[in-house]
């Protein structure tokens, strides 16, 4: 397994792979890998000749007061895990190489997909994500890039960017991976105290309750959101950022579920903000 630390080395290596006719799968990550990331890697391993995992805590997608400095990092452990997954290359650039002095070009997607949900409390976040992913796509030239359904909004933003700008690659969605008790895997789960970790289970429980209500015939968005709110508020440590239900394809507003809908939650426990979601179809 190669570990590339400069843009130039990574780009050269990818060019060689492309010229040899090999398909490339890219798994963009910020490291501190867990089973959720490994599900992306395994999917890429099944589909592509070459699998590249990028590990880069992207400074421009963090706002002031967010956890850029504290974000967990462990390249040694990540490398070992990825070696066992038979990954071909890790791309772990320095921020100064990705954003050298004078860097001043950004890629931004507009519309509902970048104005709702996490965009409201994280202004500029998606512009940082689309800019870094555009750079990663140019550097690694993947045929496919793998994104988790856990960050459903990020996935929609990526799909829209690739479609709107004709990037010659496919965005492959991979289902959410959960801990045995239902908590969605996230690198940020390590921030939770034992009590916060216990109470955070209410996220998945509230989504399951919502699914039951929908199965029983309820379609009204406000009623379903009310049930989720009551469920989450039963946990004293939970502070709700948002509970929303939108059209699953473009995040447009809906009053009733009729087709595919996304139920999305962001809730803080202490200083840790967790997201979770459920795709429903009626």
Question: Looking at the annotation, which residues are catalytic?
Answer: 37
Whether 75 contacts 33, CB under 8 Å: no
Neighbours of 51 (CB within 10 A): 28
Q: How far is the CB of 219 from ligand PAF (least distance, A)?
A: 32
Residue 151 sits in the site that holds ligand PAF (CB under 6 A): yes
d(CA 36, CA 53): 13
List beta partners, residue 238: 269
Residue 132 sits in the site that holds ligand PAF (CB under 6 A): yes
86 phi-psi bin (left φ>0, alpha ψ -120 to 50, beta other): left
Residue 79 sits in the site that holds ligand PAF (CB under 6 A): no
Q: How far is the CB of 151 from ligand PAF (least distance, A)?
A: 6
Residue 156 sits in the site that holds ligand PAF (CB under 6 A): no
d(CA 118, CA 58): 17
CB nearer ligand PAF, residue 129 or residue 257: 129
Question: Binding ligand PAF by CB under 6 A: which of 61, 114, 141, 277?
Answer: 61
Query: Which region among 16-24, 63-71, 108-116, 125-133 touches ligand PAF (by CB under 6 A)?
Result: 125-133
Q: What is the DSSP letter of 189?
A: G
Query: Which region among 75-83, 129-137, 242-250, 251-259 touches ligand PAF (by CB under 6 A)?
Result: 129-137
Residue 129 sits in the site that holds ligand PAF (CB under 6 A): yes
Whether 58 contacts 136, CB under 8 Å: no
Question: Binding ligand PAF by CB under 6 A: which of 58, 131, 199, 235?
Answer: 58
Q: Residue 118, exposed/middle/buried by CB under 10 A (0-12, 13-18, 19+)? A: buried
Residue 277 sits in the site that holds ligand PAF (CB under 6 A): no
Nearest to 188 by CA among 279, 267, 85, 82: 267
Q: Which residues contact ligand PAF by CB under 6 A?
A: 28-30, 58, 61, 129, 132-133, 151, 154
């Amino acid at each position: 397994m190669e570990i590339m630390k400069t843009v130039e080395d990574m780009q050269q290596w990818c060019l060689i792979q492309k010229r040899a006719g090999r398909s490339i799968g890219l798994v963009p990550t910020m490291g501190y890998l867990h089973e959720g990331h490994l599900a992306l890697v395994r999917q890429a391993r099944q589909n592509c000749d070459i699998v590249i995992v990028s590990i880069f805590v992207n400074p421009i997608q963090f706002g002031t007061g967010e956890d850029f400095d504290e974000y967990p990092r462990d390249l040694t452990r990540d490398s070992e895990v990825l070696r066992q997954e038979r990954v071909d290359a890790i791309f772990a650039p320095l921020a100064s190489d990705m954003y050298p002095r004078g860097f001043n070009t950004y890629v931004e997607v507009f519309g509902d997909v970048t104005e709702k949900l996490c965009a409201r409390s994280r202004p500029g976040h998606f512009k940082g994500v689309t800019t870094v992913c555009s750079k990663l796509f140019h550097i690694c030239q993947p045929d496919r890039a793998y994104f988790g359904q856990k960050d459903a909004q990020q996935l929609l933003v990526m799909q829209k960017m690739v479609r709107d700008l004709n990037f010659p690659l496919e965005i492959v969605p991979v289902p959410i991976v959960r801990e045995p008790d239902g908590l969605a895997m996230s690198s940020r789960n390590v921030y939770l105290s034992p009590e916060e970790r216990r109470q955070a289970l209410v996220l998945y429980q509230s989504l399951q309750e919502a699914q039951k209500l929908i199965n029983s015939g309820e379609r009204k968005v406000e009623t379903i959101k009310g049930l989720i709110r009551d469920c989450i508020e039963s946990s004293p440590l939970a502070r709700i950022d948002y509970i929303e239900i939108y059209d699953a394809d473009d995040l447009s507003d809906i009053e009733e579920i009729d087709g595919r809908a996304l139920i999305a939650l962001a809730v803080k426990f202490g200083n840790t903000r967790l997201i979770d979601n459920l795709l429903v179809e009626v």
